[in-house]
């Protein structure tokens, strides 16, 4: 088991491993569940994660229409070892419109559903999956504070929030004496908007942990598509959705015309090759994989950044765990940054 490799989610007091486990693909048929990997695969991945000390699992009620939460709950009951769970509530928004969720009070009903599927009395980290209308944000924070006081939630987090809304949520929770534990955004070597749109700066200023989803750019940074292997259609669809920039992630750093009509960077194999050459050289020096170097880059840059890579089989679980027992040198970290800038 990996020891002394833990981080605290802001001022919440919730201590987690330096890396989480994303299980958005568990139970999700659109991402291959039941066809490319099975219930037995995720069970074995779960056990391998715990064997390695990775006991912080991130899911959401919408993943697999609740199946991801149910699978996590079943794995926990069958294995018996303690874990830390994080899940999310989907507000009514431009991304997830819902008449039944137009009221912040709907969160409490959804919370009970997640508790039941997970088979627990308290969720360690409960997050808003997408930002609600700004004028309703304070009311959502008030309801989350109510859930914390009721003992159903230990810590509160956000997902896909810009810096302005993050600050607003933090301030409202502070009125209840509750710290904002974390915010989750897409962050990897090919998607570095948090560094320029104010989110990372706000996290550092307010003592909020940054959970990085898609830390391997849907597998592109593992190098497996480097030689021309077709990129799955489901991931291409995700990239098309990203082009909408629904949450203002780019904050004007990329023009609308360029965003819509340029080829998505993860698919620009020839331009990414200089980066892969550097990642491969560093990987060989440490007897690691390209994916492990890309994940290590995230953890080496800031003590408050926690990557959340996926793990749907034993191989992926073990490869993720192999990221934690070493660190890039400053020279290697700088070299990666300089190479990545050249690929923009």
Give the DSSP H/E element, type plus range, for residue 239: helix 233-242
Q: What whole-number distance in Å separates Cα of residue 191 and Cα of residue 89?
A: 24
Residues belonging to the chain:
344
Confidence of residue 260 (pLDDT cuts 50, 70, 90): very low
**Where residue 157 sits, what CATH number does that domain have?**
3.20.20.100
Q: What is the pLDDT of residue 1?
A: 33
Q: What whole-number distance in Å separates Cα of residue 91 and Cα of residue 85?
A: 20
The answer to whether residue 128 sits within a structural domain is: yes
Containing structural domain, residue 101: 6-219+291-327
Average pLDDT, the chain: 88
The answer to whether residue 194 sits within a structural domain is: yes
Query: Is 63 a known active-site residue?
Result: yes
Directed axis angle between helix 39-51 and helix 314-321, to 10°?
Answer: 20
The tally of domains found in the chain comes to: 1
Among all chains, which residue has been given the structure tokens 């810096």?
Answer: 163
Closest by CA position to 116, among listed 54, 56, 72: 72
Q: What is the pLDDT of residue 343?
A: 46
pLDDT by residue (tens digit) across 278-324?
Answer: 999 999 999 999 999 999 999 998 888 999 999 999 999 999 999 99
pLDDT by residue (tens digit) across 96-132?
Answer: 666 667 789 999 999 999 999 999 999 999 999 999 9
Give percent of the chain above pLDDT 70. 82
- Please tell me whether residue 307 adopts helix, strand or coil conformation: strand
Structure tokens at 241: 């959705």
Point out the catalytic residue in the list 33, 63, 126, 193: 63
Alpha helices in 252-313 (DSSP H): 256-261, 269-286, 290-301
Give the DSSP H/E element, type plus range, for residue 159: strand 153-159
Give percent of the chain above pLDDT 90. 73
The answer to whether residue 342 sits within a structural domain is: no
Asked if 233 and 328 count as a contact pair (C-beta separation under 8 A), the reply is no
Asked if 29 and 35 count as a contact pair (C-beta separation under 8 A), the reply is yes
The answer to whether residue 239 sits within a structural domain is: no
The answer to whether residue 271 sits within a structural domain is: no
The answer to whether residue 59 sits within a structural domain is: yes
Does 239 score more than 70 pLDDT? no
Using DSSP bridges, classify how beta strands 305-307 and 209-213 pair: parallel, antiparallel or unpaired.
parallel
- Rg for the chain, CA atoms, rounded: 19
Does 223 score more than 50 pLDDT? yes
Confidence of residue 225 (pLDDT cuts 50, 70, 90): confident
The answer to whether residue 249 sits within a structural domain is: no
- Please tell me whether residue 148 adopts helix, strand or coil conformation: helix
Directed axis angle between helix 199-206 and helix 163-175, to 10°?
Answer: 20
pLDDT by residue (tens digit) across 77-88?
Answer: 999 999 999 999
The answer to whether residue 228 sits within a structural domain is: no
Structure tokens at 296: 């290590």
Please compute the mean of the pLDDT values over residues 190-197 and round it to a whole number: 92
pTM for this one?
0.90
Asked if 95 and 124 count as a contact pair (C-beta separation under 8 A), the reply is no
Q: What whole-number distance in Å separates Cα of residue 210 and Cα of residue 27?
A: 26
């Amino acid at each position: 088991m990996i020891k002394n490799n833990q981080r605290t989610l802001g001022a919440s007091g919730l201590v987690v491993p330096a890396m989480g486990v994303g299980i958005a693909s568990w139970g999700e048929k659109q991402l291959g569940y039941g066809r490319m990997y099975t219930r037995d695969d995720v069970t074995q991945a779960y056990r391998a994660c715990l064997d390695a000390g990775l006991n912080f699992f991130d899911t959401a009620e919408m993943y697999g229409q609740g199946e991801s939460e149910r699978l996590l709950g079943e794995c926990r009951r069958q294995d018996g070892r303690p874990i830390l769970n994080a899940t999310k509530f989907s507000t009514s928004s431009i991304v997830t419109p819902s008449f039944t969720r137009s009221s912040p009070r709907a969160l409490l009903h959804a919370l009970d559903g997640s508790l039941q599927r997970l088979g627990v009395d308290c969720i360690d980290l409960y997050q808003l999956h997408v930002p609600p209308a700004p004028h309703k944000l304070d009311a959502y924070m008030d309801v989350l504070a109510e859930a914390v006081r009721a003992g159903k939630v230990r810590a509160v987090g956000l997902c896909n929030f810009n810096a302005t809304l993050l600050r607003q949520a933090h301030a409202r929770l502070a009125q209840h004496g509750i710290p904002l534990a974390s915010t989750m955004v897409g962050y990897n070597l090919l998607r570095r908007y948090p560094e320029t749109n104010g989110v990372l700066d706000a996290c550092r200023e307010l003592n909020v942990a940054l959970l990085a989803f898609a830390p391997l750019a849907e597998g592109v940074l593992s190098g497996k598509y480097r030689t021309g292997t077709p990129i799955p259609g489901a991931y291409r669809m995700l990239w098309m959705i990203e082009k909408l920039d629904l949450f203002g992630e780019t904050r004007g750093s990329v023009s609308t015309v360029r965003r819509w009509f340029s080829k998505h960077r993860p698919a620009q194999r020839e331009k990414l090759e200089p980066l892969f050459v550097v990642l491969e050289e560093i990987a060989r020096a440490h007897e690691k994989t390209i994916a492990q170097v890309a994940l290590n880059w995230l953890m080496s840059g800031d003590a408050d950044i926690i990557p959340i890579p996926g793990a749907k089989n034993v191989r992926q679980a073990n490869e993720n765990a192999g990221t934690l027992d070493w660190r890039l040198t400053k020279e290697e970290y700088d070299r990666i940054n300089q190479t990545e800038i050249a690929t923009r």
